[in-house]
Structure 1
Amino acid sequence: MDTRWLQDFITLSEVRNFTRAAEARNLSQAAFSRRIQSLENWVGARLIDRSAFPTQLTEAGERFRDAAIELVNQLAEARAGIAGVPAQNQLRLATSYALATTHLPKWWRAWTDGKLLSCSLQTGNVHDTVSAFTSGAADFLICFHQLAQPLPLDPARYDCLTLGRELIRPYAARALIARTGLDLPGTAARPVPLLMYSANVYFARLIDAAIEAAAEPLHGVRVFEAEMSDVLGDMAAQELGVAWLADSALQRLAAADLAPLPNRGWDIEVSILAFKDRADSRASVAALWERMRTAAQPA
């Protein structure tokens, strides 16, 4: 039995959709389905009711789900113990690279002040981090969130805190704005050069939704795409176009001399949320969650 099958199954049991679960696990739907079938063959029972929509677990699947989560957690604790870290103090956190390099360091210092904890950090895109969290490979998930693009997380299963809020704004080189009067939405005669996120990035969906909902059409040309905001920020600093960046990203791009565009109608407000599985009763998890709650903003 491949332990990855357990994480596949847990992810599917959470999102209840083969296509979305396959995307979260970075697999083709055909490969994902084969792995679920392999797990069912190993268990000796049908775990998924494929006739239902949305996808449902069978009675055997519901029973096996708890066992799968427990097995994944036990494996993680065993690995931590072999590494010399007491399992009860080993915490696993999944978040995006952007949050890991901006907010997380100061938050972690405040949350763990005076308490000896060990943390294993996993960074990735939304699919990767949500998958790690829902499969039991991470104790906490910290992510950007907006109601227009909700995450596939069951509020009955997961506790949630609002850690902060952030503006994602279109930025360009200050010199370019001053020299050309660059602003959105642009015109058909002078389309704006756009530095955009790759389609699999959460910010890409937020920006696309904002463009579709805008009061006026955007006239732009996608001149560059990338997954990481640092790359897009560096491109904007070279006067190559406009990039939507979280305000906190400017901390790492301080020397770039970027400025938000004058038209504020294209700003996007997002929340920064933290999630924890309510079923996780470890003292170290509960203690850190309480510290996070104390520092959290009201929802």
Structure 2
Amino acid sequence: MHNIETKWLEDFIALAQSQSFSRAAQLRHVTQPAFSRRIKVLEQAVGVQLVDRDAQPVRLTESGLQFLPVARKVLSQLQGGIKQLSQAGAYLPRINFCAAHALSFTLMPELVQWIRRQEPGFMARTEAANVDVGLSALRKGECDFLLAFHDPQSWVKLDANLFPSCQLGWTRLMPVCKATRHGKPIYQLGVDQDVPYLAYTAEAMLGQAVRERLRSQVGRLSLKKVYETAMAQGLKEMVLAGEGVAWLPELTIKHELESGQIVLCGTEQWVAPLSICLYRAASIEKPMVEKVWQLICQRYQ
């Protein structure tokens, strides 16, 4: 089954009601080309044509008429479920975490589980985001804690009085690639020419750490960028497919390293240490946030 975004369903319902791509796009606050693309993607996801574009005004096909009540029911049930959850959670104080993508599915679940065993009287919410987005949310008071990698050479320096931090551990940012059946790297940094490079986007914190590592070392590497994304998980999938070399946090590829699917493809000079830190805004005064902060500091310091 293809993933279907709720905004596509809302687009489809708006189009059914307005019978006009331009009017529906206005109602959905997007450009008409973008709106048309989203309707097309929805049709591809469900596998049938939902809209008769040749008709004036635009009308739904037979399949579209059958799908319309389904779309309305799905959105209604989803909205109702969210409302029930919100009401159920209203009796517990909520703590909002923001976490780097790579940490949101590795360390974050373990951390929340441990906190709840010590202090079950709260509801936790985690949002995965790039570190710059998380930092902005922390400064604006939109999240209570930010879990992020910290590279002393490249990351933004925060005022410790305004944004105290607690170091939760360490990992390494490693240049890795797919292994041959004999356990050898299919690419070798410093030896091969034009090694296909799977990179982070410019705004990604891990990308900044990699660039600093490359600049700080004397040796020159022959890299040819062939792909980029902000997410380590996306680079990991490309590495597993044998598409090139990427610098990945060791904690995100532990299983693949142990199984021999992925191997280090360069010397230790290209490995960058990364600390894992939890940040909070000192200006936020919430009793539960303070209690959780004290629990974490006692455990890790």
Q: How many residues are matched? A: 217
Q: Does 1:209 align with 2:205?
A: no
Tell me by how many angstroms 1:182 deviates: 2.7
Given that 1:192 and 1:241 are in contact with CA atoms closer than 8 Å, whether structure 2 keeps it comes out as yes
Q: 1:288 aligns with which of 285, 292, 295?
A: 292
Task: Could you tell me which runs of 5 or more consecutive residues in structure 2 were left unpaired when the two chains were aligned.
Answer: 1-82
Residue in 1 that maps onto 2:94: 90
1:256 CA drift (Å): 7.8
1:265 paired residue number: 269
Matched residues, percent identical?
19
Q: Work out whether residues 102 and 251 of structure 1, in 8 Å CA contact, stay in contact via their aligned partners in 2.
A: no
Which runs of structure 2 are paired with 1:1-299 in the superposition (5 Å)? 83-86=87-90, 89-116=93-120, 117-175=122-180, 182-186=187-191, 190-251=193-254, 257-296=261-300, 298=301
Aligned in 2, Cα 1:93/1:180: closer, same or farther, shift over 3 Å?
A: closer
TM-score by length of 2: 0.66
CA distances 1:153-193 after superposition (whole Å, capped 9, x unpaired):
32221221001111010111111885676321235xx2211
**Structure 2 residue identity aligned to 1:137:** E
Is the CA contact (8 Å cut-off) linking 1:197 and 1:228 kept in structure 2? yes
Q: CA deviation at 1:285?
A: 0.7
How far off is 1:228 after superposition?
1.3
Tell me, yes or no, if the aligned pair for 1:126 and 1:202 is still in contact at 8 Å.
yes
Q: 1:181 to 1:228 in 2, by over 3 A?
A: closer
CA deviations on 1:99-137 (whole Å, 9 max, x unpaired) are 010111112111220422201211111121111111100
Query: 1:246 and 1:260 mapped to 2: Cα distance?
Result: 12
Structure 1: where are the runs of 5+ without partners? 1-78
SS at the partner of 1:281?
coil
User: Contact 1:194–1:222 (CA<8 Å) still a contact in 2?
Assistant: yes
Q: Say if 1:169 and 1:247, in contact at 8 Å, map to a contact too.
A: yes
Q: Which residue identity does 2:106 align to in structure 1?
A: T
Q: TM-score, normalised by structure 1?
A: 0.66
Relative to structure 1, is the Cα distance of residues 241 and 282 closer, same or farther in structure 2, using a 3 angstrom cutoff? same
Q: Which amino acid aligns with 1:280?
A: I
